[in-house]
Structure 1
Amino acid sequence: MGEHAAVAAVDDPVTVDRIAANLRELGVEAGDTLLVHTSLSELGWVAGGPQAVVDALQRVVTADGTLVMPTHSTQYSDPSVWSNPPVPDDWIPQIRESMPPFRPELTPSRGMGAVAECFRDYPETVRSRHPLYSFAAWGADAESIVADHSFENAMGEASPLARVYDRDGSVLLLGADHASNTSLHLAEYRADLDTGRVTETAPVLRDDERTMVEWTDIEHDSGDFPQVGAAFEKAHPEAVRQDDVGTATAKLVDQPALVDFGAEWMSDHR
């Protein structure tokens, strides 16, 4: 939705107060652990843009709760497999040699949306160390959720996703859908799958020096995430609450229930 369409979609501006009220009506409460995926363009014309969304989320969850958002930086993936766009073969060694090191406090996210990128830079927000699949967090459990994020199996058991699961957290899909629901990647690790593995390398800052790190991970596949999400909502309607936030459709999802269901579904259907 472009800005002209966003203005036309609402009778009044979408404000911090309105977003906060809508989130409470949806069921978000103070003290929640909330993993957020959002599309700002779906909310209508927001007074203050992404900052208003972050402010509203913080107001509702409060510092007694914890907000988490994916801040992935896939520009640090292997350039030899880039396809959108691909780069010339003779660029690949230069890219690998010249990329600045990943720094959690500075490196921008890629493809995560304006709200997550704004949230990443908020005071007291902390970010995990993974150069491709980092998460940012704010609130009571922020430090413990992002700490010790393993390079290996980046969205598995030693990831912020698993720490949200441990806290009986919820997923907020705010104008987003299950296609971008990163919690289903945790289900991939827990499913009974014969998953291929890939080797990744990326530069990080270690002891104030640029250092290349290497790790292995499963081959992630989000192609069936919309099917998994739809099947979960049909099987467990009690675990999903839906309402409007601004002009966006929002869903509040029980994350552990979703992950458990997703692992079983993938074991049976992949």
Structure 2
Amino acid sequence: MGEHAAVDRVDEPVTVSTMLDDLRDLGVAAGDTLLVHSSLSALGWVCGDAQAVVDALREAVTERGTLVVPTHTGQYTDPQLWSNPPVPDAWVETIRDARPPFRPESTPSRSVGSIPECFRAYPDAVRSRHPTFSFAAWGADAEAVVADHHYDYGLGEHSPLARVYERDGNVLMLGTGYDTNTSLHLAEYRAEFPKNTVRNDAPVVEDGEVVRVEYDDLATDTSDFADVGTAFEAERGEAFERGTVGDADARLVSQPALVDFAAEWFDANR
């Protein structure tokens, strides 16, 4: 969406103050653990762009709470499997060998939006070590949420997603849907349907040295995530709130309720 369209969509600028009011109306409270999925363009014309959204989110949970965002890096997945766009077969080995190592403090996120990328660059944010599925966090439990993020099964039990679950956290979807809700991957791990495993490798920095790590992961499938969300909202109306933040459709969802529901849904429908 272009900037002209963003201006036309709102009657007045979306600001830190107005977003904070909207977040409070939705149910975000000081001290919350909050996992955020976001689309800046969905909010309308934001005074201060992504930085204003980050500031509003931080003010909403306060330093007593914990803010978590996905800062994934698809550029460290297997280039042989890339499809949007695919790369020539002759490039694959060059990409694998030539890409610089993943560095939590500096490697840009990819395909998760400008708000997570802005958030992870704040000097007091911390980021987990996973070269594909990292998360960044800020607040009271930030260090604990991102610590010891295992390479194997990076969206499973030893991931920031599970740490949010343990803290009875909420998922905030700002202009996004269940199709990109990473907590549903945690539900995939916990469900009992038959699963396939894939293997990946990526360069990282450990103890000051560049090393290549290999790790296993699930062959995940997001094609039915929207269906999970529809079923969840139909059956668990008490576990989410819906409203608007700026011009964006917003949902505040209990992450444990969503993960538990989805794990059962996957077992019944996959």
- Please report the TM-score for the alignment, with normalisation by the length of structure 2: 0.99
Counterpart-to-counterpart distance in 2, 1:196 and 1:27: 38
Deviation at 1:192, TM superposition (A): 1.0
Name the SS of the counterpart of 2:250 in structure 1.
Answer: strand
Name the SS of the counterpart of 1:58 in structure 2.
Answer: helix
Name the SS of the counterpart of 2:53 in structure 1.
Answer: helix
Deviation at 1:89, TM superposition (A): 1.3
CA displacement, residues 81-129 of structure 1 (integer Å, 9 cap, x when unaligned): 1111111111111111111000000000010001010001012100000
The 4+ residue runs of structure 1 with deviation greater than 6 A are: none
Deviation at 1:42, TM superposition (A): 0.5
Counterpart-to-counterpart distance in 1, 2:258 and 2:198: 26
Counterpart-to-counterpart distance in 1, 2:233 and 2:2: 30
Counterpart-to-counterpart distance in 2, 1:125 and 1:24: 23
Deviation at 1:233, TM superposition (A): 0.6
Paired residues in the alignment total 270
- Please report the TM-score for the alignment, with normalisation by the length of structure 1: 0.99
* Unmatched 5+ stretches in structure 1: none
Counterpart-to-counterpart distance in 2, 1:154 and 1:99: 20
Deviation at 1:2, TM superposition (A): 1.8
Residues 36-185 of structure 1 mapped to structure 2, 5 A cutoff: 36-185=36-185
Deviation at 1:225, TM superposition (A): 0.5
Counterpart-to-counterpart distance in 2, 1:168 and 1:207: 34
Deviation at 1:207, TM superposition (A): 2.1
Counterpart-to-counterpart distance in 1, 2:204 and 2:192: 32
Residues 10-29 of structure 1 mapped to structure 2, 5 A cutoff: 10-29=10-29
Greater Cα offset, 187-196 or 85-94: 85-94
Name the SS of the counterpart of 1:149 in structure 2.
Answer: coil
RMSD of Structure 2 on Structure 1 (CA): 0.6
Name the SS of the counterpart of 2:6 in structure 1.
Answer: helix
- Residue 269 of structure 2 corresponds to residue 252 of structure 1: no
CA displacement, residues 159-200 of structure 1 (integer Å, 9 cap, x when unaligned): 000000000000000111101100000000011111111010
- Specify the alignment match of 2:225 in structure 1: 225
The amino acid across from 2:88 in the alignment is P
Name the SS of the counterpart of 2:123 in structure 1.
Answer: coil
- Specify the alignment match of 2:6 in structure 1: 6
Counterpart-to-counterpart distance in 1, 2:190 and 2:73: 24
Sequence identity (%): 61
Counterpart-to-counterpart distance in 1, 2:72 and 2:48: 24
- Residue 267 of structure 2 corresponds to residue 262 of structure 1: no
